[in-house]
Amino acid sequence: MPTIVVDVMPKAELLDPQGKAVAGALARTGHTAFSGVRIGKRFELTVDGPVDDALRANVQQIAEEILSNQVIEDVVGIHYEVTNAELAEEAAEAASVAGDGFGAPAGETH
């Protein structure tokens, strides 16, 4: 099943109180090598259907308009963890193993 990962971070110029608190805890516990910590969010979206250009445009839109608030956050990455090409390869492999051209549907092969 294709998974789409959207990474959102608080804007670099803004104070990140959560990160600051964690940085303080690291310093207190002797992990002195780290001069800063910032905390963001990772969203994992799964889709059952194909990942096509329309879906990619849709992901871009919801990442900017819903998953993040552009006043306080930035979308720093959108990753497609399983591509259609990979799924097609898996389907082809499954078909050749099955030998009858009627392999398991892509996405259910593992």
Partner 1 sequence: MRIGVITFPGSLDDRDAQRAVRLAGGEPVALWHGSHDLEGVDALILPGGFSYGDYLRCGAIASLSPIMTEVVAAANAGMPVLGICNGFQMLTEAGLLEGGLIRNDHGSFICRDQVLTVENTSTAWTAEFEAGQLITIPLKNGEGGFIAAGDTLDRLEGEGRVVFRYVDVNPNGSLRDIAGISNARGNVVGLMPHPEHAVEPGFGPDTAAAMRSGVDGLGFFTSVVKRALVEA
Residues of the shown chain interacting with partner 1 in the complex, contacts defined by CB under 8 A? 10, 14-15, 17-18, 20-21, 66-67, 69, 71-72
Nearer to partner 1, 72 or 98 (CB): 72
Residues forming beta bridges with residue 78, ordered by sequence position:
6
Nearer to partner 1, 72 or 88 (CB): 72
Give the shortest CB-12-to-partner 1 separation in angstroms: 13
SS3 59: helix
- Determine the Cα–Cα distance for residues 1 and 109; give it in Å rounded to an integer: 10
User: Is residue 3 within 8 Å of 86, Cβ to Cβ?
Assistant: no
Give the shortest CB-63-to-partner 1 separation in angstroms: 12
CA distances from 96 to 1, 50, 101 (A): 20, 22, 7
Nearer to partner 1, 65 or 93 (CB): 65
- Determine the Cα–Cα distance for residues 33 and 70; give it in Å rounded to an integer: 32
Give the shortest CB-41-to-partner 1 separation in angstroms: 9
Nearer to partner 1, 29 or 102 (CB): 29
